[in-house]
Structure 1
Amino acid sequence: MIEYFEHYLQEDCPYGDETTELLQINGEGTLNILSRDEGIGACADDLEQFYKNKGLDVTYRVENGEYFEGGAVIFSAQGDLRELFKLWRVSQTFLSIVCAIAARTHNFVEAARKENPDIMIATSRKTHPGFRKYELKAVKVAGGTHHRNSLSDSILVTQNHLDVADAPEKLKAVKKIEIEPRDNDEALKYAEIADVLLLDHYSPEEMAVIVTKLKKINPNLEIAVGGIKSDEIPQYAPYVDIIVSTAPYYAQPLDLTTRIERT
């Protein structure tokens, strides 16, 4: 995954660090990234590999899935000061995003499993371009999972598909088939052939009623719900198997700061 960081660095430092060169900064130093916010560690191991590739030593990094309090150091490195200054901003921004995603996911998982210990929090493929690998990893290390990683790894018949395709009453596939029905009638109709039904725009009360009917038709059917707000998770969790959300990807980045010192 080093090539991703090379791309991020190329965006931030395409022709060299003009300030560091003007100040003629040389020698060895240390870099410490601290968080003013509490959070959950994610992807610092990937950042470590990038640092090693640049000839720097990583002396500490927060573990994947590890909780940290505000004021904690979450990443430390030492080596050439010029390299540390080049990597500083990219590293800080990267960790602020992925650790926030992990923290938001963790909060969702905790809220949902208080009501349903077996429920899954699954994020969609609506990731930011060029950042999918890390966003998905941040979700996973915090106890979440992926609803879909790409168009190639699963089958999801959406309402748009139903509008233009022939009726899929006889679908068969090696992979699980998930269908997003447009109304109650379609939900009941496709319950027999689907492995998963994705139900949107139902109130918790409506969900309780329709899920009871669907499970009678197909006891092995999994029910997913999307399009709900984070504070609604406890209300839906008792009735569904999967909560699909994009919200973790849009978590407010953590407030991080970096200190670089000469050794």
Structure 2
Amino acid sequence: MTTPTREIDRIVGAALDEDAPWGDLTSETLIPEAATATAELVAREPGVVSGLEVFAAAFRIVDPRTQVQRLAADGDRFAAGDVLARVQGPARGILTAERVALNLLQRMSGIATLTARYVDAVAGTGARIVDTRKTTPGLRSLERQAVRDGGGRNHRRSLSDAIMAKDNHLAVLTAGGRDLATALREARERMPHTAHLEVEVDRLDQLDAVLAGGADTIMLDNFSLDDLRAGVSQIAGRAVVEASGGVSLETVGAIAATGVDVISVGALTHSARALDLGLDVVIEAPTSHAEVGG
């Protein structure tokens, strides 16, 4: 599953319009129009790469004559010093696109790298690491792609994709003493038959009503490890069990060991650090020609 080219072009185009709304004054002033350049995308630290298509799109949109040779694939792990791509073409275009290309690639690779650390931490447990809607406005498609490149899975894309009743929804739904199970069953009757119903709970004593209401997935929010184990036992396979809240690299392994099916981690997108990647122009040494005497 990859981000469609038209979506990439929309996002990258908007970023380029923001960065160079009336052109690149520096490059157009200092760099000869006919100048060409070669630059290498170099990793300054280890990680997981994500966003090479986005990186290439920035150069293509600025100047279609620019060629980007990918030396890695999205999802690949790399070491510090590895060359991940090579860019060749008109120097002005390369310099104009450089910052936007790197900003998006560094952001996506940071998310992929952090996601991979979470996935590694739950290896062998059967629990899935998934993202949340806590994404950068306007960049959700790219950040979800980065989570997948890091080995994680995606939660619902938007409010339009699934029914997810959280604490505030339940407070409104049961206002005036309405029975939760009945309210959920009535909601199910209004749902499209293809829709998925997830319900968030923050106490074990809510589980019976939510199960009776027909939830497909039950989110156990900010539960202790003991309560997570008790919740998994009580649900007993009648719904997918998701754990959320209080998840960190230090805690995720123990959470996975409780038997939950899914662990949602907002930090994958809202707290990932941009990875340190650089674009270095390659300066070729002049060829030395020995003088031949006669």
Say whether the fold is shared (TM-score over 0.5): yes
Q: CA deviation at 1:24?
A: 3.5
Write the distance in 1 (CA, Å) between the matches of 2:113 and 2:278: 18
Counterpart of 2:15? 8
Deviations 1:74-133 (A, max 9, x none): 22211000000001111111111101100111111111123x1x2211101111011111
Residue 21 to residue 169, structure 1, CA distance change in 2 (3 Å): closer
Which of 34, 37, 45 lines up with 2:42 in the alignment? 34
1:24-173 matches, within 5 Å, as: 24-26=31-33, 27-53=35-61, 54-55=63-64, 56-114=66-124, 116=125, 118-166=126-174, 167=180, 168-170=183-185, 171-172=187-188, 173=191
Which of 248, 258, 261 is the equivalent residue of 1:229? 248
How far the C-alpha of 1:220 sits from its partner, in A, is 3.2
Q: CA separation in 1, counterparts of 2:227 and 2:153?
A: 26
The alpha-carbon deviation at position 46 of structure 1 amounts to 3.1
Q: Alpha carbons of 1:28 and 1:262: their partners in 2 closer, same or farther (altered >3 Å)?
A: farther
Look up the SS of the partner of 2:122 in the other structure. Answer: helix
Question: Aligned in 2, Cα 1:214/1:71: closer, same or farther, shift over 3 Å?
Answer: same
Structure 1: any 5+ residue segments left out of the alignment? none
Asked which structure has the greater RCO (Cα within 8 Å, sep 6+), the reply is 1
The alignment partner of 2:164 has SS state of strand
Question: Where does residue 180 of structure 1 map in the other structure?
Answer: 200
Alpha-carbon distance between aligned partners in 2 of 1:21 and 1:64, rounded to the nearest angstrom: 33
Greater mean deviation of Cα atoms: 206-215 or 195-204: 206-215
Larger radius of gyration: 2
The runs of 4+ residues in structure 1 deviating greater than 4 Å are none
- Cα 1:202–1:182 change in 2 (3 A) is closer
Query: Whole-Å Cα distance in 2 between the matches of residues 182 and 203 of structure 1?
Result: 10
Range with greater deviation from structure 2 (163-172 or 77-86): 163-172
Shift of 1:224: 0.4
TM-score with structure 1 setting the length: 0.92
TM-score, length basis structure 2:
0.83
State the percentage of identical aligned residues.
27
Residue aligning to 1:198: 219
Q: 1:16 to 1:49 in 2, by over 3 A?
A: closer
CA contact (8 A) 2:56 2:101 kept: no
Distance (whole Å) between structure 2 residues aligned to residue 79 and residue 262 of structure 1: 14
SS in 2 for 1:92: helix
Q: CA deviation at 1:262?
A: 6.2
Q: Distance in 2 between matches of 1:212 and 1:236?
A: 14
CA deviations 1:156-208 (Å, max 9, x no partner) are 01110011114324142422210012422212221231111101121112211
Contact 2:31-2:91 at 8 Å conserved across structures = no
CA contact (8 A) 1:45 1:61 kept: no
Shift of 1:34: 1.0
Structure 2: unaligned runs, 5 residues or longer: 1-7, 175-179, 285-294
Q: Is the 8 A contact 1:196 1:223 kept in 2?
A: yes
Query: 8 Å contact 2:43–2:277 — kept in the other structure?
Result: yes
Checking the alignment, whether the CA contact within 8 Å between 2:129 and 2:265 is kept in structure 1 is: yes
What displacement does 1:19 show? Answer: 1.9
Q: Is the 8 A contact 1:42 1:141 kept in 2?
A: yes
Distance in 2, Cα, partners of 1:158 & 1:139: 23
